[in-house]
Amino acid sequence: MLSLKTQISAQNALIKDLLEDRTNLHDICFSSTNANKNLKLVRSCPFEPLHTSLSWRKMITMQDSMALVNEKLERHLEHMDLQEVKRKADVASLKKEIDEMRSQANWLSVGARRRRIRSTCCTLP
């Protein structure tokens, strides 16, 4: 089980990576050298007129890219939520085991006290 500090630093690192991905996607979408790549990335629409401007296509590509980054963030958050639920279940099961061990220890200590009492009673004249 990871410590809370480790989990937070891992989350911060992932968010930083996702933000860098978002910045890189922005650079790719709005650079003039990658115009042909941008056109290939755009989802084609059968009703799209042929004279649609390149800047509009870049904007659509940027929206698609942002949607992908947001989807990645949502999946990560869902995964973290599942890990939190699993961690809480693990904690609950550990508490249950500890309670069982305590009750067993209580029974053992009661039995040991009874044996000591019996042994001292039997040795008395």
Looking at the 3D structure of the chain, how many domains does it have? 1
* Residue 96 covered by a domain: no
Print the domain residue range for 17: 4-90
The mean pLDDT value for 18-25 works out to: 60
Q: Tokens 């500890």 correspond to what residue? A: 98
Q: What is the largest CA-CA distance in the chain?
A: 114
The pLDDT mean for the chain works out to 66
Residue 35 lies in a domain: yes
User: Is residue 119 assigned to a domain?
Assistant: no
Task: Average the pLDDT over 79-106 and give the result.
Answer: 82
What is the percentage of the chain residues whose pLDDT exceeds 90?
0
Q: pLDDT band at residue 18, thresholds of 50, 70 and 90?
A: low
Instruction: For residue 110, tell me if it sits in a domain.
Output: no
Residue 124 lies in a domain: no
Give a yes or no: residue 122 inside a domain. no
For residue range 41-83, list pLDDT tens digits in order.
Answer: 444 444 444 444 455 555 556 667 777 777 777 887 787 777 8
Residue 102: inside a domain: no
CB 57 within 8 A of CB 42: yes
Residue 70 lies in a domain: yes
Handedness of CA 80, 85, 90, 95 (dihedral sign): positive
